[in-house]
Amino acid sequence: MPRMATLTIRSIPEKLYQRLEESAARHRRSVNAEAISCLEKTLFGNRLDPEDFLAQVRSLRARMPRAFVTERDLRAARNQGRP
């Protein structure tokens, strides 16, 4: 198991802490988990491992129905109910 460090942050401005609490509530996380998530996003950015990304895409594609919507289908749906 990787080593987990402890970090104490002092003198957080009240507005900043309130925003962190609001964000934590929106994401259904503790304030601590939200702070870690914010740090990860900031420090690691949106870097994706290409293999992980492709695995996720393949998984999503496998769950999608095989039928495709055609332009004809779209036109028929748009015109449905018109006189």
**Is residue 33 in a domain?**
yes
The span from the CA of 81 to the CA of 83, in Å, is 7
**Considering its fold, how many domains does the chain have in total?**
1
Instruction: Give the max Cα distance, the chain.
Output: 68
Check pLDDT > 70 for residue 83.
no
**Is residue 2 in a domain?**
no
**Is residue 40 in a domain?**
yes
**Is residue 39 in a domain?**
yes
Q: Is the full-model pTM beyond 0.85?
A: no
* Other residues' Cβ atoms within 10 Å of the Cβ of residue 34: 20
The better pLDDT of the pair 31, 56 is held by 31
